[in-house]
Amino acid sequence: MYRLIYFSSPGRAEAIRIVLDISKLSWENVIVDFSGYSEMRDSKKLPWGLLPALETPSGTLSESCAILRYLGDMTYLKIDDEWQSAKVDECLDAISDMSNILTETFRINNIDEKIAARKKLVDSGGKLSNCYDLFCEKLENSKTGWIAGTEKPSIADIKLFSDCFGLVSGNYDGIDTSLLKGRDALLDFHSKISVIPEISSRYEEMQDDPLRWVYCQNAFSNE
């Protein structure tokens, strides 16, 4: 039995949840609150004191991208070609860098200041806006439609799907679906990946979920 431990939000664990569904492994989605996380951290149960963490038959694994690589190798997402595998890793790092841009705003307590700071990130020329433009460029230049140019989807595509669309769910004050306006390559990517059977079935009943509606098929059909 595999046990994925994280908070109830999608966050850094949603891509892992998707890959676990794809893997067909027997797994448990363990939800903790901050108190539960603090107890695990203080008792040294987490390899680096961070979540998500994956309990496996071999031990506990931490760091979201490491978990994705570990699980991805058990699925059809595995890329056997060494060069393409390295390009997948490259994309994983780039997507992680994008997600980390928002981290600095969580330290801002005043809501108006927080929204103003995030507005700078998503406005034209802002750091997040530039990342979305770059992802569009990569997708447009991909001969296969997958972010790393692989012949089939990879864990990098799962992470791009999770992180890129998760940011516009409305869960983050100051960021909304306007970040997707004019970025048709990302919207086409969403249409391409959201129909993967394990993904479509996972989110089929979540159209009204305030955090996960963005992963449903046709979520952005009117964009």
Sheet holding 59-62, edge to edge: 27-31, 2-6, 53-56, 59-62
Distance CA 148, CA 141 (A): 10
**pLDDT for 52-90, tens place per residue?**
999 999 999 999 999 999 999 999 999 999 999 999 999
Per-residue pLDDT band for 23 (boundaries 50, 70, 90) equals very high
Report pLDDT digits (tens) over 50-60: 999 999 999 99
pLDDT at site 178: 94
Q: What is the pTM of this model?
A: 0.95
In Å, what is the CA distance from 74 to each residue of 15, 18, 66, 88, 209? 15, 13, 13, 16, 29
- CA atoms of 108 and 54, how far apart (whole Å): 30
Whole-number Å distance between alpha carbons of 173 and 195: 29
Which domains does the chain carry?
2-72 (3.40.30.10), 82-215 (1.20.1050.10)
Over residues 109-164, the pLDDT tens digits come to 999 999 999 999 999 999 999 999 999 999 999 999 999 999 999 999 999 999 99
Number of H helices, E strands in the chain: 9, 4
Q: Where are the beta strands (DSSP E) in 10-157?
A: 27-31, 53-56, 59-62
Residue 118 contacts residue 126 (beta carbons within 8 Å): no
